[in-house]
Homo-oligomer: A and B are copies of this chain.
Amino acid sequence: MSEKDFAAFWPVFQEIVTSAQTYTIDPAIGFDDAYRLWCQAPLATWVAKDASGTLLGSYYLKANAAGPGDHVCNCGYMVAPAARGQGVARKMCEHSQTQAKASGFLAMQFNAVVATNTVAVALWQRLGFRIVGTVPEAFRHPQQGLVDTHVMHKALMR
């Protein structure tokens, strides 16, 4: 994802973090910090576009931890509101697993999948991820109050 792509993606990013339903990102985050978080801190960031070049979504890939934990990766996915329900998240997750394996990661871990985000939980499960832990009330949902988050994990077969 180039900086120009990120500028096009920024309204999507903002919509997702200000709705505060799914990501533990400060809803008031500015462009520069968001660019750093999404594009510079990770190992790689990808953009999904349709045939006409319209942005559909984006994901990042990074090590989930350093040193003796850096064989496990972590990804975050965001789909543009207009592109939902078309399998974009699934395609990005499949792509990210291929990329992760190519980078030598042995597993992929999501640290805080919000339990009320049932569409995401079900999709990750269909893609082979397992809930390996549930943290009680770790997410302040704007409508539903304190809700649980799941730790989800998948070993990446080589």
B26 touches A66 (CB 8 A): yes
> Looking at A69, A70, A107, A134, which has the most chain B CB atoms within 10 Å of its CB?
A69
A99-152, CB < 8 A from B: 106-107, 109, 111-112, 132-142, 146, 149, 151
Task: Give the distance in Å from the alpha carbon of A141 to the alpha carbon of B67 in the complex.
Answer: 10
A135 touches B112 (CB 8 A): no
Chain A window 49-88, contacts with chain B (Cβ cutoff 8 Å), 1 for yes, 0 for no: 0000000000000001111111110000000000000000
Question: A155 in the interface, Cβ–Cβ < 8 Å?
Answer: yes
- Known interface pairs A24-B66, A132-B135, A133-B134; 18 further A-B residue pairs with C-beta atoms within 8 A, sorted by A's residue number: A20-B67, A23-B67, A24-B65, A24-B67, A24-B70, A25-B66, A26-B66, A27-B67, A65-B138, A106-B137, A107-B137, A111-B111, A132-B136, A133-B135, A135-B153, A136-B153, A136-B155, A137-B155
